[in-house]
Structure 1
Amino acid sequence: MKDSSIEETGDTRPGAETLQTVQIWDPLLRLFKWSLTISVAAAWGLGMFGPDIMTLHFWFGYAVLGLLAFRLVWGLWGPEHARFKSFAYGPVAILKYVFGMFRRKPSYWPG
């Protein structure tokens, strides 16, 4: 996913900012999200409608646990936009964002 943010151009005229394209999602994070989606759906489907032998259901459950362990590691030591600190905001920032949603101006909020 690519997102836009404001970059200063050095020009002092009003509205002189330019948009910069920033890549937010890295390929491993995309692979994680789709793998987690498929694994959870497969485990649920096999648990509800699958055969009485639950081996595949358990393997998909193990895959979910492995993927969650990967995300924990990636959230602590991965690239900047994959880290937990890049999307964990405090109450003041959240309130500013919520009240800013009602203004008719773009926020340039990444993500």
Structure 2
Amino acid sequence: MTPVKGPAANRVRLWDLPVRIVHWSFAGLIPALWWTAENDEMAWHMRLGTVLLGLLVFRILWGFAGSSTARFANFVRSPGAVFRYLASLFGKGPHALSIGHNAAGGWSVVALLGLMSLQVSLGLVAGDPDYGSAGPLNHLVGFEFAYDATEWHTELVFNLILVFVGLHLVAIAFYRIVRRDNIIAPMVTGSRPVPQGFTGMTPAPAWRILACALAALVLVAWIWLGA
């Protein structure tokens, strides 16, 4: 999004509170989960992993039932749209203004949600109960699968998550330095200036927040009890 200043600017709501809470929770949970695993604090690692599971379930549900900018239908675009956006971003055409995630950022969101969901799923079955550290669904898989899941959980998938987090940080720096656009501030305040004629997000009713949160809580509780 191109920064807008002056009398033509109109401040609109961009991100709802659930999206912002989930976003910053992810930012805090990923390093916390890494630290607890590295320091063999597995009880806390599994508790935090369960919180991450609940947030992921909520965010996926919110991607279908939430406010307009939170919905996957709003930001998952075709490969052609991604190419055109990237071309405009690097000066090969007019820079497209989008209310919400742009075409490239939308796929980044999907990739991170997918990788974190895979990481949590592997963690649910990973470990070895003989060593006192196993996911709540470890009993549903065989030893060899649990061993492989542990390897993927601790190495491959986690490293892929780090790659996408790194790309996310690079994109933030690019927008701030090259495009002169602070894309962090709207994720804190929920709003940003846009040109006249652009409208902000369409909010979702509060009951949908409660319904998605309850569904996530029920699923997490069921899994925590061993499904």
The TM-score normalised by the length of structure 2 is 0.37
Aligned to 1:70: 58
Query: Could you tell me which amino acid in structure 1 is paired with residue 98 of structure 2?
Result: W
Q: Which structure: greater strand fraction?
A: 1
Matched, 1:92 2:80: yes
* Partner residue of 1:23 out of 8, 13, 16: 13
User: In the TM superposition, what whole-angstrom CA distance separates every residue of 1:7-39 from its partner, at most 9, and x where no partner exists?
Assistant: xxxxxxxxxxx5443322111111111112222
1:39 and 1:60 in contact (8 A); partners too: yes
CA positional deviation for 1:104? 7.1
Higher relative contact order, structure no. (Cα contacts within 8 Å, ≥ 6 residues apart):
2
Matched, 1:39 2:60: no
* Partner residue of 1:61 out of 49, 56, 69: 49
Same amino acid, percent of matched pairs:
30
CA positional deviation for 1:80? 0.4
Q: Which structure: greater helix fraction?
A: 2
1:40 and 1:60 in contact (8 A); partners too: no
Query: Could you tell me which amino acid in structure 2 is paired with residue 66 of structure 1?
Result: G
Structure 1 runs not aligned, ≥5 long:
5-17
Distance in 1 separating the partners of 2:13 and 2:92: 26
CA positional deviation for 1:44? 1.1
Aligned to 1:109: 98
CA positional deviation for 1:50? 4.4
Distance in 1 separating the partners of 2:67 and 2:98: 18
Task: Give the RMSD, CA atoms, in angstroms.
Answer: 2.2
Aligned to 1:14: none
The TM-score normalised by the length of structure 1 is 0.71
Structure 2 runs not aligned, ≥5 long:
101-227
